[in-house]
Structures are given as C-alpha cells and as structure tokens.
Amino acid sequence: MRKYLGMRNQYLLGGIIGSAFIISSILLHHEFYKKDISIIPRVKWDPSTIRRGSLFEYRENLTKCLTNIVIHHSGFKFKPGPNYLLAYQLSMGYDDIAYHFIIDKDGDIYEGRPINFMGAHAGQTKEANELADKIRTGIISDTPIISAYKLDPDYGAIGICLDGNYELEKVLEVQLTALRYLLKSLCFQYKIGKANIFLHNEVKEKIVRKRGLTFVGNETVCPGKYARNKIKHLISIL
Ligand SMILES: [Zn+2]
C-alpha cells in the first residue's frame, strides 16, 4: 500500500513537475517575445518629423502583407548609428531611412522606417518600374499603383540592417544575439517562416528570379563575407 501510494505520489509529482514545465515554457515563450526584446522607438532617436514623403503604406493586415525578411549591413566601418544612416540615405534621395530596424555595434535595436511602410532596401525589378511608369503617366488607367509595388522585392520585405562593414571587419556577437531575438520576435509576430529570411545578396535569385521577374541593380555582397555564414547559421537554428 505504501509502495502504491509512493508510486502514486511520484506519478502526481511527475505530473505536477511536467505541468509546471509546460506552463513555465509557455510563460517563457510569451515573455521572450513580449518583453525580452527591447526596440528603441523612432521618436527616441529622431524626434523631428518622420519623413514619409511618397512612402507606400500597407493597407491590409500586416501579417498578410509582411512575408519576407531581408538582412543587410550598413557598409560603414565606423559606428554611424541610425541618425547617420538616415541623413546619408536622405542625401541619396530616399524619402526616409531604408530599413525597418537597425542593430548598432552595441547590439541595440532601433526602429527605423515604421513597419507599416514599404521599405527601400531589397532592390527593384524591371516589371515593377515599367508598370509604375505606365500607371503614373496615364498609359494604364485602370490599375492601382499597388499592382506595381507588388512586383517589387521590397513589397512585404522587412529590412534589418546591422551597422558595420562586414566585408572588412568581423560581425560582433552582440549584434548577432540582438538579430536572433529580433528575427524570432518578427517571425512570431508576423508568422514568417525562417525559409523566408534572406540575406540581401540572395534577393536576386531567391525572391526576384524565383517569381520570374527581372532584377534591376548592381550585384551585392551585402551583408558582407564576415557576416553571411554566421547569419545563415543563426537562421538555420532559429
Ligand atoms: Zn544590403
């Protein structure tokens, strides 16, 4: 009888521990996505007007629109931070910072272009540009401009930029850790599978050509030879 009770107690104890483990896992899972990731909001580093110019804003549910993530490096070897990147990209004719998130060399994550606005980081296609021109010049009048945007690799692509030039310097572990947290959070929030996380240099083949479209722009090594394999590994074990 005592043995039976002992076994029963062990069974109960095991059940309690098992349940506690499952509950704590769920809580940890929840906490991980909701609290452990800290993103510095745009207003904290750029209190001036957010330049939205002619940016395209997604009108549908973001979970439906946001389907890809594209990872970059900034290409600057010093430590410019988001303010420098914003100023540089405005000087290059962009309406706003190109990326949705910037991870600096301290591993801090900054909100860049608000995520409900289409980014400008993944490249262009001949088909998108030609259709947009025809719509804008009135040659085609019954097609909304979103039809052109949907042919662009930036449509639905969240842009993440690691500050640095990873052709010239080693990517920092603190940045990779922040990237991992950010990717997990974004994948969870927008239901994006890790097969849809790309390096910038993969966009031409894995997004554009796969859709039968024609890539416009220069070949790129972004996010750099010292970061590419490390980020691919990070994605593989996400
Ligand atoms: Zn890039």
From 134-148, 172-186, 200-214, the region with the lowest mean pLDDT: 134-148
Give me ligand 1 centre to Cα 223, in Å: 6
> How many domains does one find in the chain?
2
Q: Are 7 and 51 in a shared domain? A: no
Place of tokens 């973001």: 62
Would you place residue 53 in the very low, low, confident or very high pLDDT band (cuts 50, 70, 90)?
confident
Q: Are 146 and 89 in a shared domain? A: yes
Q: Are 222 and 173 in a shared domain? A: yes
Q: Are 30 and 51 in a shared domain? A: no
Q: Are 26 and 90 in a shared domain? A: no
Give me ligand 1 centre to Cα 63, in Å: 23
Give me ligand 1 centre to Cα 65, in Å: 21
Provide the pLDDT for residue 218. Answer: 84
Q: What is the pLDDT of residues 1-24, one digit of tens each?
A: 333 333 344 444 444 444 444 444
Span 36-62, average pLDDT: 87
Give the three-class secondary structure for 154.
coil
Would you place residue 135 in the very low, low, confident or very high pLDDT band (cuts 50, 70, 90)?
very high
Give me ligand 1 centre to Cα 8, in Å: 60
Q: Are 66 and 20 in a shared domain? A: no
Provide the pLDDT for residue 6. Answer: 39
Give me ligand 1 centre to Cα 28, in Å: 33
Cβ-proximal residues to 153 (8 Å cutoff; 6+ apart), any chain: 68, 70, 122, 123, 124, 125, 203, 207, 208, 215
Q: Are 116 and 187 in a shared domain? A: yes
Higher pLDDT, 217 or 230: 230
Give me ligand 1 centre to Cα 167, in Å: 12
Q: Are 8 and 54 in a shared domain? A: no
Q: Are 30 and 86 in a shared domain? A: no
Provide the pLDDT for residue 3. Answer: 38
**Residues lying with their CB under 5 A of ligand 1, a single-atom ion:** 72, 200, 222
Q: Report the distance separating Cα 112 and Cα 109, nearest Å.
A: 9
Domain that holds residue 21: 1-36
Q: Are 16 and 128 in a shared domain? A: no
Q: Are 26 and 71 in a shared domain? A: no
Q: Are 23 and 79 in a shared domain? A: no
Give me ligand 1 centre to Cα 185, in Å: 21
Residue 202 sits in a domain of what CATH number?
Answer: 3.40.80.10
Residue 95 burial by CB count (10 A; 0-12/13-18/19+): exposed, middle or buried?
Answer: middle
